[in-house]
Chains A and B, each alone.
Chain A
Amino acid sequence: MSAFAYMAPTSVEEALAALKKVQSAGGRAQVMAGGTDLIVQMRAVDKAPRTIVDLKGVKETRRVDIGATETFIGATLPSAELNEDPRLLKLFPGLLEAADLIGSTQIQGRASIGGNLCNASPAGDTIPALIANGAVCVIANASGGRELAVEDFMIGVQKNALQPGEFLVGIKLKNPARRTADAYLRFIPRTEMDIAVAGCGVALTLDAGGVCTHARVSIGAVAPRVLLVPAAGAALIGTRVDDAALAAAGAACTAAASPISDRRGTAEYRRKIIAVLCRRAGAIARDRALGAAGA
């Protein structure tokens, strides 16, 4: 790797000051969380010198706050740590499954949801799960910060909506209402350690009679961005999330997809498999919501 500098701020204010300092000196500031993607990129792809601003010491990015109505997950917490939190596993099983799919045990010891989101890969596994849950990015900047829905945060392949001087502090999610659950499924050609050919996150709410009153469906690795598919959610609302409704939601995902062909799969295959993943993830979310009915 080429030479660079390193800063380790301990608060949001220090981190903002660090970014400003590097930028005013004409340097390139590079925010880092777990570093599992970034260090590989800096060694092999983009070797340009820069100043690393390591956010792991910023205490606001290391918090999990579970409030009465919403949950905050710090941007730099490693997925291994999140998956050891029984409260999160109960609240957002689909999101935690998505985080648990990324990389090996070693990678999960460092890799974060915040990093996965900021890298903005179309195949990032946590992004569809976050979008399905209606998650919101909590962004720090010099003018008091801002919030942005996750579906608006990823703006292109490896492009996010952060402006110079901004960084992601964490993710905010509404705590699930009664009979609400999420699920995430992806397809890879083997059982572990691969990148999604396609992925689908579903979050839905059922009423006391088992009829769906709210649903969000998001698809990954089948378009330049991870997409919210409103038509797929609409296909589930008002139904018992039965086979016909799931098939309609799946068809909406196929219609929304604009995949490429690459060594992991052809565009035609991805359009087909995304419908399968939507149907299966929808059924898992439905069964979880029914199972949680008494909870």
Chain B
Amino acid sequence: MKKIQIETSINGETVEFLCEPQQTLLEVLRDELGRTGTKEGCGSGDCGACSVLMDGRLVCACLILGVETAGHEITTIEGIASEDGLHPIQQKFLDHAALQCGICTPGFVIATKALLDKHPDPDEETIRYWLAGNLCRCTGYDKIIRAVQDAARTLAHPA
């Protein structure tokens, strides 16, 4: 199958790549562009490990074709930290030990970013429903919820 040339924006940078029509955005990110921060879990939209933002909206990269991203803006985990250091969400996940094996963590960080962009002061129920599409086999979720609550407080009242 002939490869198609796609131009998109990834983490604010214009990126051109060639992909086959059946390649998912997840495959393009990891295999064509070498951006392996986005993880593959289930590959069927159930686990959220491959969460990215597309035009600011939370989506699964495994359920989007690379060709569908033409002209859109993608944000991956590599675009979350700044040159000054970790994003407060990332720092709070570390502070609260809200990760163990780490495979789900990039997806949780991205999903939390989307949550706090939309709901800066979410209650626990809102957090749990919003993150229901992100599965974690290690933490039991409680530490993740605490990290998200703390990140929300920090973002609302930067030190």
A residues bordering B, Cβ < 8 Å? 1-6, 8, 35-36, 39-40, 42-44, 52, 54, 56, 78, 80-81, 103-107, 109-110, 192-193
Asked if A105 and B65 sit within 8 Å, CB to CB, the answer is no
| B21 interface neighbour in A4, A107, A192, Cβ under 8 Å | A4
Interface-facing stretch out of B32-40, B43-51, B81-89: B43-51
Query: In the complex the two chains form, is B45's CB within 8 Å of A56's CB?
Result: no
Asked if B147 is an interface residue, CB under 8 A from chain A, the answer is no
Beyond A104-B132, A105-B111, whether A40 also contacts B44 by CB under 8 A is yes
Is chain A's interface secondary structure helix, strand, loop, or mixed overall? Answer: mixed
Please name all residues of chain A whose beta carbon is closer than 8 Å to the beta carbon of B43 when the two chains form the complex.
Answer: 43
**List of A residues within 8 angstroms of B59 by Cβ:** 106, 109-110
Q: Does chain A have a CB within 8 A of B137?
A: no
Cβ contacts under 8 Å, A192 to chain B: 129, 132
Beta-carbon contact of A106 and B48 below 8 Å: yes
Chain A residues, CB < 8 A from B57? 78, 80-81, 109
Q: Quick check: A6 and B21 within 8 Å, CB to CB?
A: yes
Q: A2-B22, A3-B20, A44-B44 are in contact. Are A54 and B63 (CB under 8 A)?
A: no
CB distance from B152 to the nearest CB of A (A): 16
| B80: interface (CB < 8 Å) | no
Given contacts A103-B45, A106-B45, contact A5 B133 (CB under 8 A): no
B133 touches A35 (CB 8 A): no
Whether the Cβ atoms of A104 and B20 lie closer than 8 Å is: no
Contact of A35 among B20, B21, B65, B134 (CB under 8 A): B65
